[in-house]
């Protein structure tokens, strides 16, 4: 199974001044959902891992978070893509959990759920915390220059603490541009055609604590 684990805020949607607390406040980054669809059509599964400390602080509830992600699922489906699930950490920073990024617990849960070896996973996000979580479990690392990393440019000066070997991309779409030629070059024409024509089922929220 080919798996990409994405961050949410700054990667799929613009970073808000404060927390995104309702579906009305959530809007996709231009081109981000189309990038997810392109991954799907090439045979990649996409899962989101996101810190949501606003839950722990009582700024919004699980119903509101579910509504945000329902909107996200519908919008990505509208462009022919699918996000398999959203795994989230609901804890505030002072709760000392093991799932809050940059700790790898949330990403490890995803790997365990899908039966994927950690070193085979592509971890893509705009925050250092997301990349560090991927590094802690030995995944393949990608930083996109959007959201918190918008001041950065590929080939430019990198933030202190960025794990060695992290690839830097201008956007999620640029990450997909660089990933897919490598994948498609090793596929037969028949397999490539089949992946492009693959239909995408309607996303269904995943059951369980911390998963929507």
Q: What count of other Cβ atoms lies within 10 Å of the Cβ of residue 108?
A: 17
Residue 207 domain flag? no
- Distance, CA of 48 to CA of 125 (rounded, Å): 10
Token pair for 111:
């790997």
Domain that holds residue 39: 2-197
**Residue 209 domain-assigned (yes or no):** no
Please give the backbone phi and psi of residue 28, each rounded to the nearest 5 degrees, phi first: -75, 150
3-state secondary structure 129-177: HHHHHHHHCCCEEEEECCHHHCCCCCCCCCCCCCCCCCEEECCHHHHHH
Our CA dihedral for 171, 175, 167, 18, rounded to 10 degrees, sits at 40
> Domain tally for the chain?
1
Is 206 a member of any domain?
no
Per the domain annotation, does 202 fall within a domain?
A: no
Q: C-alpha angle with apex 49: 123 to 106, nearest 5 degrees?
A: 95
Tell me whether residue 102 is in a domain: yes
- The answer to whether residue 131 is domain-embedded is yes
Q: Are 206 and 181 spatial neighbours (Cβ–Cβ below 8 Å)?
A: no
Whole-number pLDDT of residue 41: 97
Helix orientation angle between 32-41 and 172-185, rounded to the nearest 10 degrees: 10
Q: Is residue 175 part of a domain?
A: yes
**Predicted confidence (pLDDT) per residue in 52-91, tens digit:** 999 999 999 999 999 999 999 999 999 999 999 999 999 9
Q: What is the pTM of this model?
A: 0.86
The pLDDT of residue 17 is 83
pLDDT per residue as tens digits for the range 122-169: 999 999 999 999 999 999 999 999 999 999 999 999 889 999 999 999
In a domain? residue 205? no
What CATH number is attached to the domain comprising 193? 3.40.50.1000
Query: What is the average pLDDT score of the chain?
Result: 88
Burial class (CB in 10 A: 0-12, 13-18, 19+), 38: buried
Q: pLDDT tier at 199 (50, 70, 90 boundaries)?
A: very low
* pLDDT reading at 198 higher than 50: no
CA 20 – CA 30 distance, rounded (Å): 18
């Amino acid at each position: 199974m080919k798996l990409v684990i994405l961050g949410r805020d700054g990667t799929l949607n613009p970073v808000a001044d404060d927390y995104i607390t309702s579906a009305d406040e959530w809007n996709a980054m231009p081109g981000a959902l189309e990038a997810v669809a392109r991954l799907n059509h090439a045979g990649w599964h996409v899962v989101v891992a996101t810190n949501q400390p606003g839950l722990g602080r009582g700024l919004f509830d699980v119903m509101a978070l579910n509504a945000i992600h329902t909107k996200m699922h519908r919008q990505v489906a509208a462009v022919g893509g699918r996000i398999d699930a959203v795994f989230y950490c609901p804890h505030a920073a002072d709760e000392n959990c093991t799932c809050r990024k940059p700790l790898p617990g949330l990403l490890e849960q995803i790997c365990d759920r899908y039966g994927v070896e950690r070193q085979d996973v592509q971890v893509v996000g705009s925050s250092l915390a997301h990349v560090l979580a991927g590094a802690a479990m030995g995944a393949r690392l990608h930083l996109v220059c959007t959201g918190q990393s918008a001041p950065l440019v590929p080939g430019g000066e990198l933030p202190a603490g960025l794990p060695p070997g992290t690839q830097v991309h201008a956007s999620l779409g640029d990450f997909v541009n660089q990933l897919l030629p490598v994948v498609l070059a090793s596929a037969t024409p028949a397999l490539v055609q089949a992946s492009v024509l693959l239909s995408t089922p309607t996303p269904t929220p995943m059951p369980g604590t911390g998963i929507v």
